[in-house]
Chain A
Amino acid sequence: MEREEVKKRLTERFGDKIRIAEKSPARVYVYAENDIWVDLASYLFNELDARFDTGASVDDRDGVEVMFFMPFDREHYYVTIKTFAKKPNPTLDSISNVIPGAKWIEREIFEMYEVDFRNHPDLRPLLRADTRPADFYPGKRECKNELESARSREDGRERADEVAGKPPKGENP
Chain B
Amino acid sequence: MVKKIPIGPYHPVLEEPEFFELHVEGERVVGIDITIGWSHRGIELLSEHKTWDQVPFLVERVCGICSCSHPFAYVKAVEDCAGIEVPLRAQYIRLIVAELERLHSHLLWTGLAGHFIGYNTVFMWAWKYREPVLDILEAVTGNRNHYAMLRVGGVRRDLPESEVPMVLERLDELEKNNELLTKAIVDDPVIHARTKGVGVFDRKMCRLYGALGPTARAGGYDVDARRDHPIDAYDKVDFDVILCENGDVFDKAVVRQLENFEAIKIIRQCLKQMEPGEIATEVHEIPPGEGLGIYEAPRGEVLHYIRSDGGNMPLRHKIRAPSFNNILTNEVSVVGETVADAGLITAAVDPCYSCTERVGIVDRGDGGRWVASEGDLIRMSQERTEKIRKELQGNRRNG
Task: Report which A residues bind B (CB closer than 8 A).
Answer: 23-24, 26-27, 51-54, 56-58, 67, 69, 71, 73-74, 76, 78, 80, 99-105, 126-129, 138-139, 144
Contacts and interface: CB of A to CB of B under 8 A. Distances in A.
B307 A58 contact: yes
A67 B320 CA distance: 13
Given A26-B229, A103-B328, A127-B36, A54 B303 contact: yes
Given A54-B210, A128-B40, A138-B42, 18 more contacts: A23-B289, A24-B80, A27-B80, A51-B223, A52-B210, A53-B210, A53-B303, A56-B316, A56-B320, A71-B229, A74-B228, A76-B228, A80-B292, A99-B208, A101-B208, A103-B328, A129-B40, A139-B45
Nearest to A26: B229
B164 to A, nearest CB: 32
User: Which bracket fits the contact residues of B?
Assistant: 20 to 34
B3 interface: no
Which 10 residue pairs of A and B lie closest in terms of their CB atoms, listed nearest first? A101-B210, A127-B37, A73-B228, A56-B318, A101-B209, A54-B320, A127-B40, A58-B316, A52-B210, A56-B305
B248 to A, nearest CB: 20
A5 to B, nearest CB: 18
B36 A51 contact: no
B292 A100 contact: no
B208 A104 contact: no
Contacts of B305: 56, 67, 69
Interface of B: 36-37, 40, 42, 45, 80, 207-211, 223, 228-230, 289, 292, 294, 301, 303, 305, 307, 315-316, 318, 320, 324-325, 328
B81 to A, nearest CB: 9
Identify whether the interface residues of B are mostly helix, strand, loop, or mixed: mixed
A33 B147 CA distance: 44
Contact of B37 (A73, A126, A144): A126
B37 A104 contact: no
A67 B303 CA distance: 13
Contacts of B207: 51
A69 B318 CA distance: 12
Contacts of A71: 228-229
Nearest to A112: B44
A4 B374 CA distance: 55
> Which of A26, A27, A104, A138 has the most B CB atoms < 10 Å from its CB?
A104
A166 to B, nearest CB: 11
A24 B82 CA distance: 12
Contacts of B315: 58
A126 B303 contact: no
Contact of A104 (B223, B228, B316, B328): B328
Contacts of B328: 100-101, 103-104
Contacts of B303: 53-54, 69
Contacts of A23: 289
Nearest to B228: A73
Contacts of A105: 320, 324
B82 to A, nearest CB: 12
A79 B337 CA distance: 37
A53 B80 contact: no
Contacts of B209: 100-101
Contacts of B307: 58
Contacts of A56: 305, 316, 318, 320
B229 A76 contact: yes
Nearest to A72: B228
Contacts of B223: 51, 73
Nearest to A103: B328
Contacts of B324: 54, 104-105
A53 B302 CA distance: 10
A78 B228 contact: no
Contacts of A103: 328
A71 B224 CA distance: 12
